[in-house]
A = this chain, B = another copy of it.
Amino acid sequence: MSAAAQQALGPGSGLVSPEINPDHSVTFRLRAPKAVSVQVRGDFGPVGQMREEQGGVWTYTTEPLEGELYSYNFIVDGQRMLDPSNVHLNRDVATWTNIFTLSAKEGDKGWYYEVHDVPHGSLSYVWYNSPTLAKLNEKASFPRRLAVYTPAGYEDNPKAKYPVLYLLHGSGGDEDAWLDLGRTVQILDNLIAEGKAKPMLVVIPNGVWFNQAAPGAAINNFQPTMTNSRSQSTAEVEESFPDIMSFIEKHYRVAKGAANTAVAGLSMGGRQSAALSLHYPTRFGYVGMFSGTADPDANADAVAALFAAKPKLFWIGVGRDDGVRVSSLKMKDYCEAHGYPVTYYESDGGHIWRNWRVYLTVFAQKLFK
């Protein structure tokens, strides 16, 4: 036995899966000699019935696909399972799926989600104490985890100050969601390298005010927190948000002021972003509401105060098939009726990460210019 051997070192499955073919179709393979029926279920098309070939290896090949990050899993005799040949996984709330990225041509969506030979920013998981949430949670202190992206060059330009995007996840998510499912690091690295986005910090807090960190990273938090009325309340997030901003402004070289500060989020985080901009009308020069909601009629004074402060951008993104589209349109229509400038971006599809990655890619290019 060599010193090289390691606990689970082995041949893996011995199969290549997924395999991206020259025409951008994708072939999946699974060895399951005892199985009667094997399917691949992914977000690239209808459920694929896999066909058994020699050696008990089941295969399926898709149609040619466009550039994108795709998710899938196998169904073996009715039982969902992951692809043992693919080490790349994402967790969405409580469910793990395999993922792969595909770029059909340079600069397509999938290209932005991949790692390229460009300067890479750093990613840090840091802890801050929230005195406000300590009080609301009836604790002496309440340390919470933040993910902080600093762009390439941050460490080597010790006098430079950078604008900040605060990026908020949806219900069931945590401070990992925008990184794993959202591909924030790859999108920012690529956009900044191309000169399409300004170098900026991206700060990803945990958006559930009674949680301290993602499952497993905090004491007494082992399972994802599903939607409930406590996590849907925005009041605690509004009240405690200055604790985050103070920590960031103290520990990072940050360009302050609304012209250098953006807040955006998806779904629950979109609602929080809108609420934060209304609660602090002079703090955020850029607001992104991705598949989010706001109630302008009930907050007419706050909406007026926000737009009196002349934010550089109030950006609303939603999918044509998204259940919250009506609420997004309500905010858009209200603002337009009152002469408040908003930018509206409507995509295909529904309430899905595929859209939120696009919204981040589009929104990030409009910031701090």
Q: Which residues of A contact B (CB under 8 A)?
A: 1-10, 12, 32-35, 76-82, 84, 87-89, 91-97, 115-117, 119-120, 122-127, 143, 145, 152, 155, 170-173, 215-219, 222-224, 226-227, 231-232, 251, 267-268, 270-271, 291-293, 323-324, 327, 351-353
Contacts and interface: CB of A to CB of B under 8 A. Distances in A.
A324 B171 CA distance: 49
Given A78-B34, A96-B89, A9 B120 contact: no
- Nearest 9 pairs of A and B residues by beta carbon: A1-B323, A8-B92, A124-B124, A12-B94, A4-B227, A81-B81, A4-B171, A122-B126, A3-B293
B116 A122 contact: no
Contacts of A34: 77-79
A219 B173 contact: no
Chain A interface SS verdict (over half)? loop
A215 B88 contact: yes
Given A1-B351, A79-B32, A123-B125, A87 B94 contact: yes
A82 B79 contact: no
A172 B8 CA distance: 9
Contact of A216 (B88, B94, B120, B232): B88
B82 A351 contact: no
Given A124-B123, A267-B6, A293-B3, A12 B96 contact: no
A172 B9 contact: yes
A93 B271 contact: no
A4 B267 contact: yes
A231 B93 CA distance: 37
A33 B231 CA distance: 34
Nearest to A224: B87
A243 B307 CA distance: 51
Given A93-B9, A122-B126, A124-B125, A3 B291 contact: yes
